[in-house]
Amino acid sequence: MATAAASQAAALRWEVEDGVAVLVLDVPGRPVNVLSPELTREFERALERLARREDGVRAAVLLSGKPGVWIAGADIDLFRTLTRPEEAEALSRHAQELMNRLAALPVPLVAAIEGVALGGGLELALACSYRVAADTPKTRLGLPEVQLGLLPGAGGTQRLPRLIGVRSALDLMLTGRQLDPRRASKLGLVDEVVPAPILRRIAVQRARELADGQRAPHLPRERGSPVAWERVPGAVALVLRQARAQVVRQTKGHYPAPLRILEVVGRTWNRPLAEGLREEARAFGALAVTPESRALVHIFFASNRAKEDPPLPPGVRAPTVQRMMVVGAGFMGAGIAAVSAQNGIRVRLKDVNAEALGRGLRTARQLLEAYAQRRRLPRWERTKLFDRLQPTLRYNGLRHAELVVEAVFEDVELKRHVFRELEAAAAPTTVLASNTSTIPIARLAEAVQRPERVIGLHFFSPVERMPLVEVIVPSTAAPAAVALGHRYVKAIGKTPIRVADRPGFYVNRILGPYVQEALLLLESGVPIEAIDAAAVAWGLPVGPITLLDEVGLDVAQKSGEILRQAFGDRGAASDALARLMADGRLGRKNGRGFFRYEAGKRRGVDAEVYRLLGVQPGAAPPTPELQDRLVLPLLNEAVRALEEGVIDSPDVGDIGAVFGFGFPPFRGGPFWHLDQVGLSTVVARLEELTRRFGRRFEPTALLRAKAERGERFYA
| Residue 38 binds ligand CAA, judged by CB under 6 A | no
**667, 660 contact by CB (below 8 A):** no
CB of 305 to ligand CAA, least distance (A): 7
Name the residue nearer to ligand CAA (CB basis): 76 or 425.
76
| Residue 145 binds ligand CAA, judged by CB under 6 A | yes
Interface stretch with ligand CAA, choices 18-26, 67-75, 528-536, 569-577 (CB under 6 A): 67-75
Size of the site for ligand CAA (CB under 6 A): 25
Phi, psi (deg, nearest 5) at residue 189? -75, -35
**What is the Cα–Cα distance from 471 to 319, expressed in whole angstroms?**
17
| Residue 445 binds ligand CAA, judged by CB under 6 A | no
Interacting residue with ligand CAA among 6, 9, 44, 76 (CB under 6 A): 76
| Residue 180 binds ligand CAA, judged by CB under 6 A | no
Interface stretch with ligand CAA, choices 119-127, 250-258, 322-330, 431-439 (CB under 6 A): 119-127
Residue nearest to ligand CAA (CB): 119
**What is the Cα–Cα distance from 415 to 378, expressed in whole angstroms?**
40
CB of 699 to ligand CAA, least distance (A): 33
Interacting residue with ligand CAA among 107, 126, 154, 327 (CB under 6 A): 154
| Residue 77 binds ligand CAA, judged by CB under 6 A | yes
Interacting residue with ligand CAA among 31, 319, 568, 618 (CB under 6 A): 31
Q: Which residues contact 603 (CB under 8 A, 6 or more apart)?
A: 595, 596, 597
Within residues 264-323, the interface with ligand CAA by CB under 6 A covers: 304
Closest CA to 280 of 72, 99, 510, 546: 99
Name the residue nearer to ligand CAA (CB basis): 30 or 570.
30
**What is the Cα–Cα distance from 82 to 79, expressed in whole angstroms?**
5
Name the residue nearer to ligand CAA (CB basis): 42 or 575.
42
- DSSP per-residue letters across 151-193: --TTTHHHHHHHHH-HHHHHHHHHH--EE-HHHHHHTTSSSEE
Write the burial class of residue 256 (CB in 10 Å: 0-12 exposed, 13-18 middle, 19+ buried): buried
| Residue 34 binds ligand CAA, judged by CB under 6 A | yes
Phi, psi (deg, nearest 5) at residue 713? -80, -30
Active site residue 89: no
User: Count of CB atoms within 10 A of residue 414's CB?
Assistant: 14
CB of 76 to ligand CAA, least distance (A): 4
Amino acid at 141: L
Interface stretch with ligand CAA, choices 38-46, 145-153, 208-216, 379-387 (CB under 6 A): 145-153
**What is the Cα–Cα distance from 131 to 237, expressed in whole angstroms?**
30
Interacting residue with ligand CAA among 149, 152, 440, 664 (CB under 6 A): 152
**What is the Cα–Cα distance from 15 to 111, expressed in whole angstroms?**
15
Name the residue nearer to ligand CAA (CB basis): 12 or 154.
154
Give the contact letters, 512-551, x = binds to ligand CAA (CB under 6 A), - = no: ----------------------------------------
Name the residue nearer to ligand CAA (CB basis): 36 or 557.
36
Name the residue nearer to ligand CAA (CB basis): 69 or 480.
69
Interacting residue with ligand CAA among 20, 21, 59, 95 (CB under 6 A): 95
CB of 74 to ligand CAA, least distance (A): 4
**What is the Cα–Cα distance from 69 to 134, expressed in whole angstroms?**
12
**573, 517 contact by CB (below 8 A):** no
Name the residue nearer to ligand CAA (CB basis): 492 or 522.
492
Q: Which residues contact 343 (CB under 8 A, 6 or more apart)?
A: 491, 492, 493
Amino acid at 361: L
**ω into residue 378 within 30 of 0, thus cis?**
no
| Residue 72 binds ligand CAA, judged by CB under 6 A | yes
- DSSP per-residue letters across 204-257: HHHHHHHHTTSS------SSS-SSGGGGSTTHHHHHHHHHHHHHHHHHTT--HH
Interacting residue with ligand CAA among 108, 153, 456, 543 (CB under 6 A): 153
Name the residue nearer to ligand CAA (CB basis): 302 or 586.
302
Radius of gyration of the chain (CA): 28
Interface stretch with ligand CAA, choices 12-20, 118-126, 507-515, 699-707 (CB under 6 A): 118-126
Name the residue nearer to ligand CAA (CB basis): 118 or 521.
118
| Residue 181 binds ligand CAA, judged by CB under 6 A | no
Name the residue nearer to ligand CAA (CB basis): 74 or 277.
74
| Residue 74 binds ligand CAA, judged by CB under 6 A | yes
Name the residue nearer to ligand CAA (CB basis): 126 or 679.
126
Among candidate residues 470, 517, 637, 698, the one labeled active-site is 470
CB of 153 to ligand CAA, least distance (A): 4
**Contacts of the segment 684-693: beta carbons below 8 A, 24+ positions apart:** 685/628, 685/632, 686/632, 686/636, 689/628, 689/629, 689/632, 693/572, 693/629
Interface stretch with ligand CAA, choices 75-83, 420-428, 464-472, 676-684 (CB under 6 A): 75-83
| Residue 258 binds ligand CAA, judged by CB under 6 A | no
Interacting residue with ligand CAA among 102, 116, 634, 682 (CB under 6 A): 116
Buried b (16+ CB within 10 A) or exposed e, 207-240: bbbbbeeebeebebeebbbbbeebeeeebbeebb
Closest CA to 519 of 578, 599, 584: 578
Interacting residue with ligand CAA among 13, 49, 70, 73 (CB under 6 A): 73
Instruction: Give percent helix, percent strand, percent coil of the chain, each to the nearest 5.
Output: 55, 15, 35
Residues contributing to the site for ligand CAA (CB under 6 A): 31-32, 34, 69, 72-77, 95, 116, 118-120, 123, 144-145, 148, 150, 152-154, 156, 304
User: Active-site positions?
Assistant: 470
